[in-house]
Structure 1
Amino acid sequence: MSIMTDAATPRKRAKSVTFATPPPSRENTAFRSRTALVLGALTLSGAYVHFYQSAGNGLFDTLGELVKGETFPGSNGEFKRVFTGIKPLDTYLTTFTPFFGILTHKGDDSSYLFWLWMIGQFGVQWILFVMESLREGNKGSIASYIGLVGFMFQNFGLATVIPAFLLISTLTSTISRASSPTGLMNLIKVHGIDLNILPFSFFLAYFAPTVCMMLPYPAINSHSSWQGWIATWQFFPLYTVTFQWLLASFFKAVDQGKGFKIKSDEGKMVAYFWHARPLYIGAIFICAVFHVNVLAICLLPEWLVEIFPIAGTYRNVSFASVFLPPVPLPPFESVSVVRSLHTFLIWDMAVSGAAALVWAALQTRNVSSKTFSAKWVLRMIGFTIITGPSGAFVMAMWERDSAVVELLIEQAMKDK
C-alpha cells in the first residue's frame, strides 16, 4: 500500500536556486574605467587615420573627382546615378559606389585579397554586434540600436564608429557594469528564436548582396546590375535588423504558448548557451576559412603557388603588401586610389578589431577575476593568428558565456 501511495505522489519540481547579485567591485569599476580610456584612444586614433590621413594622401580628393566623372570607375560604362528615383538618396548612393567599384573589380592583387579577407572578418564582427543587440541586458540601450550604428559605420568607417560605439556601451550598458556570473545570468541571454533566425538574416542581408556585387563584370554582372548591387549593399545593416525583427516577430507569435518552457533562470541560461553554441562555431568557421586561405596565398613559397591554380593567379603578393599599411605620420605620400582605399580598409579592421577585443576583455573580466588573465591574452593572440581578429572576438565571447554557465552550475551545486 505504501508503495502504491509513493508512486502516486507527484514529484515536486526542483526549485530554482536564487543567488544574490553583488554590486560591482572596486577592481571591476577600475577595469571598466581603463577599458573606456583605451576605447576612447582608439576612437581618436580611428578618426585620425580615417579623416586626417585620407585627406593627406589624396583619397578624398580622388573620390570626389571620380564621382564627377561620366564613366564608372573600373569600367568604360556609364556612371549610373539613378537607383531609386529619389534624388537625395541617389546622390548619396553615387558618392559611395565608386569606392566599392574600384575595390571589387579594379584593385590590385593585394587590395583584392585584403577585401576577400575582410568579407569574412567584418561579416562575423557584424553578426556578433547584432547578437549583442538582442541580449536581454541590452534592451533599450544604445547596443539595441545596432541598425543605426551599422548605418553610421557605413558612412564614417569602422575605425571611428566601432570604438565609439563600444565606448558608449561600456559606460552605459548594464551588461558592462555587471560583475559576477549571477549578475550576468539574466542579462546575456538571447531568445532562442532570435538565435535561430540570426544566421538567415545575416545571409540574406549581408552575404547575398556581397556575393552579387563581387560577381565577375561583365561576364555575369551587367554594368547596371553591378552598380545596383553595390548600391544595395550599402544598406545591409538596415536589412539585417529588418529581416531579424520581421522573422523573429512572426515565429515568436506562432510559438507563443507552445513548446517546452524552462522556468528556472539557470535552466534558461544553459538553454541559451546551447542555442548559441552552433552560432559561435559557424562564426569561427567563416573567420577561419577566409583568414587561412588568404594567409596561405600570402605566405606560400613560389614553388607551391605554381601547384595551386587559384593561388597561382595572385602574383607578387606578400603578408606585408596585403596586411601592413604605411606608417600614418605626415607628410603623407600621395598614392594611387587603389592603395589609399586599401590603407583605409586596413585601418578599419585593425582599429575596430582591437576595440572589439578590448571590449571583450571587459566582458570576460566581469564574470570573475579568474576568467581574465595573461593566459586569456595569449589565447586571444593565438586565435587572432589562426582565425583573425574577429575569430578571436568570437572565442572571447564564447568563453565568456561558457564561464558564466560553468560558475553558475558550480555555485548551484555548492548551495544544494
Structure 2
Amino acid sequence: MTTIIKLTLPLLCIYTIYALFIFSERNGLFPLIREAIESRTLPTGGNGTVSLRTIFTGNKPLDHGLASIAPFFWPAIDGSTPELSLYALVVAGSFGAAWVLVTMEGWRMGNVNGGRVVAFPSIFGILAQTGSYALTSPLYCALHIWTSSIAAKPDARKINVPRAVSNALPFIFVVGYILPTVAMCLPAPSIISFDTKQAFHAAWQPCPLYISFLATGANLLFSRLFTTRDNDDDGQAGLRALRRVYAFAFACATIPHVAAWMISLASVMFPVLFNTGLVAHLHPQRVFVNALPWSGLRVSTIGEGALRFLQWDNVIGSTGILLWAVAMYATAHREVGIKLSWIKLGVKIGLLALVSGPVGAAVGLMWERDEVIFSKEGLKQQKEVEKKTN
C-alpha cells in the first residue's frame, strides 16, 4: 500500500496542474483576474466598486504579488459570493488542521536530526499560499515518504516532538493562523475600511511563517523547562502533549466541516430561515459538488471561478494528506507487528471523513500512529524493568 501511495502522490501533483491551473484558464477565471488587476478594482458582486490596493510594504515585487492575489480571495471574504464564503470556511479548517500535522512532522526528532527538507514546513507553507494547497500537499507528502526515516522505521525517539513546541502549538495556531483569518474576514466598511481589509488579507498570506517563527521562539524560550523534569515519564509526558495538539487539530477540521454542512443542509430543509436570495446559493450541490475540469464550464464572475478552484484545491490537497496518513499508519502497525484489516481501516476512514472531512480522518490516523509507537516503547521499558527486577 505504501508503494502505491508513493506513486499516487506525484500523480496528484500532475492532476493539480490540469484541474486547477489549466481549468481556471479555460473556464475564464484567470482572464477575469487579469482584468481586475489591470483595472485595479476588486470583484464585489455588483455591490459598488472597491479599488484594488497596490501598496503594502513599499517593496514593489512583493506588493505586486500581494495585489495580484487579492482579486481571487476577495469574493470569499467580502460575502458577495455566499457559496464561496461557506466553502472557504471548510478549506480554512482543512488547511489549518493539515498544517498542524505538517508543523509537528517538521519538529519530529527523526526529521530535525536528519536535517531533511521536511523539517522546514514554512517552505511548503509559502508554496501552498502562493501556489496552491493541492500542489504543495502531495509534494510535501511524497518527499516525506521518500526521505524521512520516520516514514521507513518509526520509533518513539524519532517521532518525539520537543514539549516546549507541542505544548505551545495550539496557542501558536490561534495567534498565527486563526486570528489573522478572522481579521481579514471582518465586514467592510461597517467595521473596518476596505483598505484595512486588504491589508489584513495581505498580512494573512505569510501565516506559515508566523507559525514557524513562533514555534522556534517557543522552543528557544521554554525548552529548558522540560529538560530535567519527568525523566522517568518522558515518553508519556510527550504523548500527553501530542494528544492535546491532535485534539486541537481535529477540532480545527471538524468544527468548520460540520458547521458548513449544517448551514447548507438547513437551507434545503428549512429554507424559511434564510433570505430568499441565499437559498439557491447555499444548496449542497452548489457548495460542495465539483465541476469536472473537462466539462467545458465557463464562469461569469471571479467568485464562481474561485469556488471551482477551491473545490479542487481542497479535494486534492486533503486527499494527499489522507494518503500520507494512511501510509504512516500502515508503517507504524507493521513496525509493531500488528496486522491491519484494510476493510476495517476503510470503514474507520469513511466514518472519520463523514464527521470531520478527509483531513480530520488523517488527524485521527496520525494520532493513532503515535499511540501505537509510544505504547510499543512503553511495553519495551516495562519488560526491561521486569527483567532487572527478576
Displacement, 1:240?
Answer: 1.1
Give the letter for the 1:235 counterpart: P
CA RMSD of aligned residues (A): 2.1
Q: Which residue of 1 aligns with 2:314?
A: 349
- Give 1:392 shift: 0.8
Please report how far the alpha carbon of residue 306 of structure 1 lies from its aligned counterpart in structure 2 after TM superposition. Answer: 3.5
Matched, 1:328 2:280: no
Deviation at 1:268, TM superposition (A): 2.9
Q: Distance in 2 between matches of 1:100 and 1:371?
A: 46
Residue type at the aligned position of 2:21: F
Check if 1:362 corresponds to 2:327: yes
- Spell out the pairing of 1:7-406 with structure 2 (5 A cutoff): 31-74=1-44, 76-139=49-112, 140-178=115-153, 183-252=154-223, 255=225, 259-262=228-231, 267-300=233-266, 302=268, 304-306=270-272, 314-316=278-280, 317-329=282-294, 331-369=296-334, 370=338, 372-373=340-341, 374-406=343-375
8 Å Cα contact 1:117-1:291 kept in structure 2: yes
The letter of the residue matching 1:71 is T
For 1:392 and 1:107, the matched residues in 2 are separated by 32
- Structure 2 distance, partners of 1:243, 1:364, is 29
Deviation of residue 412 (structure 1)?
Answer: 4.6
Query: What are structure 1's unaligned runs of at least 5 residues?
Result: 1-30
2:16·2:135 contact (CA, 8 Å) conserved in 1?
Answer: yes
| Count of equivalent residues | 375
**Local SS of the residue matching 1:187:** helix
Question: How many angstroms apart in 1 are the aligned matches of 2:240 and 2:271?
Answer: 41
SS in 1 for 2:16: helix
Q: 1:46-83: CA deviations, max 9, x gaps?
A: 12211111111111111111111133332523321111
Please state how far the C-alpha of 1:256 moved relative to its aligned partner.
7.2
CA contact (8 A) 1:364 1:372 kept: no
Q: Deviations over 1:159-213 (max 9, x none)?
A: 11110111111111111111xxxx4221111011101111222112111111011
Query: CA shift at 1:122, angstroms?
Result: 1.5
- Return the letter of the residue paired with 1:242: F
Q: Aligned letter for 1:328? A: P
Identity %: 27
Structure 2 counterpart of 1:8: none
TM-superposed deviation, 1:247: 2.8
TM-score (norm 2): 0.90
The 1-side partners of 2:306 and 2:219 are apart by 37
User: 1 CA distance for matches of 2:298 and 2:41?
Assistant: 27
Instruction: Please state whether the residue corresponding to 1:114 is helix, strand or coil.
Output: helix
**Displacement of 1:403 after TM fit?**
1.4
Cα deviation, residue 348, structure 1: 1.0
AA partner of residue 116 (structure 2): S
Q: What amino acid sits opposite 2:157 in the alignment?
A: N
Residues 5-26 of structure 1 deviation map (CA, whole Å, 9 limit, x = unaligned): xxxxxxxxxxxxxxxxxxxxxx
Q: Which moved more, 1:232-241 or 1:329-338?
A: 329-338
Distance in 2 between residues matched to 1:131 and 1:278, nearest whole Å = 12
Offset from partner CA, 1:278-300 (integer Å, 9 cap, x none): 12112222322211111112223
| Bigger radius of gyration among the two | 1
- In the alignment, is the contact (CA less than 8 A) between 1:47 and 1:159 conserved in 2? no
The alpha-carbon distance between structure 1 residues 323 and 187, as it changes in their structure 2 partners (threshold 3 A), is: same
C-alpha deviation, 1:302, in angstroms: 4.6
